[in-house]
């Protein structure tokens, strides 16, 4: 069992987000913060729903009191009570 855990830890270390440049990275911190890197802009914005474009579709964040706390070309931070984070793939 210890070897299996060791192997999984090594694999997780190798799958670091830095190894995948350009791909979106969505990080959820508790129930109050979402960080999205490598986004392509916000396509819908409201206090209960925010949709963010990514390379292969959209990331939908739903909750209560949502706001865009920080936005740059590389990343954006959404705060508020996060209820759901969903990937909506583009068809095709």
SS3 (DSSP) at 65: strand
Please determine, for residue 15, whether its predicted confidence score (pLDDT) is greater than 80: no
The whole-number pLDDT of residue 70 equals 95
Structure-block tokens of residue 35: 């960080």
pLDDT at 35: 97
- 3-state SS class at 17: helix
pTM summary value:
0.76
pLDDT tens per residue, range 45-89: 999 999 999 988 999 999 999 999 999 998 999 999 999 999 999
Looking at residue 71, its pLDDT comes to 95
User: What does the mean pLDDT of the chain come to?
Assistant: 86
């Amino acid at each position: 069992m210890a070897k299996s855990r060791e192997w999984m830890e090594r694999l997780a270390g190798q799958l670091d987000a830095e190894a995948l440049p350009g791909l979106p990275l969505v990080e959820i911190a508790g129930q109050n913060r979402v960080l999205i890197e490598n986004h392509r802009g916000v396509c819908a914005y409201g206090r209960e729903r925010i949709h963010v474009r990514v390379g292969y579709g959209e990331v939908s964040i739903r909750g209560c009191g949502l706001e865009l706390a920080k936005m740059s070309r590389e990343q954006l931070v959404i705060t508020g009570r996060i209820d759901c984070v969903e990937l909506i793939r583009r068809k095709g």
